[in-house]
């Protein structure tokens, strides 16, 4: 994860904080200083923001650990100024599972709210004794409790792909096909996103960012789910490519460059003693040129550990795996033998053709 600081990991889920987060802290400090607020008070505000983002991490762990229960791993959790994102390797397709994964995050915040409220009542905190709105050692728990309640409620707004929108999609998907459920949830999400942006313009710039994030996120997921639905029912066999360009493992990279520039091919199968042993993509060629030169051998930059799929595997599952691991090309295997390749672009074309034909 570039431009992010690694904070640590729990249950195999790594937590990163994005560099832009420092801008948020800087903005808080500078805007407070300009208002002439004393340093101690600013320090407490910063402590509050950090504590709040700890709660956001717990929220994301709610999603990640719920997903783990269904055998879905989480690549990482990244904290941005507008909130955290848990990158699940895939989303559960069973609506009930998706429901639990989506609701687990807000439930964590409700839990924190209840615990902090109990602490407050235990310490005999009296809200009427509050004289001014100021974060200090006696009020920070109150503010954290309220903020967690707000976080829970805000995330439950049905603006897909926010948690509430995912819950809505899960409910719809119990009755409707998943692609249709996503389309409806996505439409509602985009409508609410426009409202967020409009409202945020006059009140809160962060809401504008969140609105844009929701709007684009909804569009991307709707098209993604639609593509997936077109692949349903097809097998790897239906999209296999038997024609492809090959390169010897010990050929110089210049040969790959030559083929890249003089043909339609963007990736190659690397062979050794007439056996396919790896793949070489455009990105790897470019990386090889940057790090070395045209004369280094193909084997220095090729991927000798490509994804391998059997001919009878479901095409939608395979495609999801290729997308989530960002692999442009994969091997197709039958009875342990190399048969051909799957190519991400080719599958996209397959989707376009199938959607044009209305399946």
Residues that bind Zn ion (CB under 5 A): 105, 163
Residue (of 302, 351, 352) closest to 331 by Cα position = 302
Cβ nearer to Zn ion, comparing 105 with 217: 105
Ranges assigned E (strand) in 109-266: 246-248
Cβ nearer to Zn ion, comparing 95 with 105: 105
Q: How far is the CB of 211 from Zn ion (least distance, A)?
A: 17
Q: How far is the CB of 54 from Zn ion (least distance, A)?
A: 15
CA 92, CA 320: separation in Å to the nearest integer? 12
Q: How far is the CB of 86 from Zn ion (least distance, A)?
A: 7
Q: How far is the CB of 178 from Zn ion (least distance, A)?
A: 20
CA 342, CA 237: separation in Å to the nearest integer? 9
Question: Which residue sits closest to Zn ion, CB atoms considered?
Answer: 105
Cβ nearer to Zn ion, comparing 105 with 306: 105
Query: Is residue 245 within 8 Å of residue 259, measured between CB atoms?
Result: yes
Cβ nearer to Zn ion, comparing 216 with 286: 216
Cβ nearer to Zn ion, comparing 62 with 95: 62
Q: How far is the CB of 210 from Zn ion (least distance, A)?
A: 12
Q: How far is the CB of 69 from Zn ion (least distance, A)?
A: 16
Cβ nearer to Zn ion, comparing 95 with 106: 106
Cβ nearer to Zn ion, comparing 163 with 228: 163
CA 32, CA 133: separation in Å to the nearest integer? 14
Q: How far is the CB of 161 from Zn ion (least distance, A)?
A: 10
Sign for the CA dihedral angle at 136, 138, 142, 145 comes to positive
**β-pair partners for 275:** 272
Q: How far is the CB of 172 from Zn ion (least distance, A)?
A: 19
Cβ-proximal residues to 74 (8 Å cutoff; 6+ apart), any chain: 13, 63, 64, 67, 68, 86, 87, 88, 89
Query: Is residue 204 within 8 Å of residue 210, measured between CB atoms?
Result: no
Query: Is residue 105 within 8 Å of residue 88, measured between CB atoms?
Result: no
Name residue, tokens 């004369």.
Answer: 295
Q: Note the Cα 284 to chain centre separation in Å.
A: 24
Cβ nearer to Zn ion, comparing 163 with 299: 163
Cβ-proximal residues to 357 (8 Å cutoff; 6+ apart), any chain: none
Residue 188: both structure tokens together: 């509602």
φ, ψ dihedrals at 118, nearest 5°: -65, -40
């Amino acid at each position: 994860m570039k431009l992010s600081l690694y904070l640590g990991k729990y249950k195999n889920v790594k937590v990163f904080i994005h560099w832009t987060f420092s801008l948020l802290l800087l903005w808080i400090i500078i805007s407070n200083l300009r208002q002439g607020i004393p340093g101690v008070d600013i320090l407490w505000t910063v402590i509050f923001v950090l504590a709040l983002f700890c709660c956001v991490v717990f929220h994301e762990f709610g999603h990640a650990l719920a997903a783990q229960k269904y055998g879905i791993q989480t690549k990482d959790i990244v904290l941005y100024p507008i909130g955290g994102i848990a990158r699940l390797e895939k989303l559960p397709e069973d609506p009930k599972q998706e429901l639990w994964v989506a609701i687990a995050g807000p439930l964590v915040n409700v839990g924190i709210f209840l615990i902090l409220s109990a602490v407050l009542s235990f310490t005999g905190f009296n809200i009427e004794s509050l004289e001014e709105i100021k974060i200090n050692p006696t009020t920070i728990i109150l503010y954290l409790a309220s903020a967690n309640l707000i976080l829970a409620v805000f995330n439950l707004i049905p603006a897909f792909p926010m948690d509430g929108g995912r819950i809505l999609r899960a409910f719809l998907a119990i009755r409707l096909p998943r692609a249709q459920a996503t389309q409806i949830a996505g439409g509602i999400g985009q409508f609410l996103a426009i409202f967020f942006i409009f409202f945020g313009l006059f009140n809160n710039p962060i809401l504008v960012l969140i609105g844009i994030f929701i709007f684009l996120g909804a569009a991307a997921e709707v098209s993604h789910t639609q593509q997936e639905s077109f692949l349903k029912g097809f097998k790897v066999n239906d999209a296999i490519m038997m024609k492809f360009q090959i390169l010897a493992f010990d050929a110089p990279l210049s040969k790959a460059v030559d083929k890249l520039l003089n043909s339609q091919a963007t990736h190659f199968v690397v062979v050794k003693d007439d056996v396919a042993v790896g793949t070489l993509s455009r990105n790897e060629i470019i990386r090889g040129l940057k790090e070395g030169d045209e004369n280094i051998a193909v084997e220095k930059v090729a991927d000798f550990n490509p994804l391998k799929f059997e001919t009878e595997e479901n095409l939608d599952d395979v495609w999801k795996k290729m997308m989530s691991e960002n692999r442009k090309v994969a091997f197709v295997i039958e009875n342990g033998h190399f048969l051909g390749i799957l190519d991400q672009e080719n599958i996209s074309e397959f989707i376009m053709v199938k959607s044009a034909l209305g399946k």
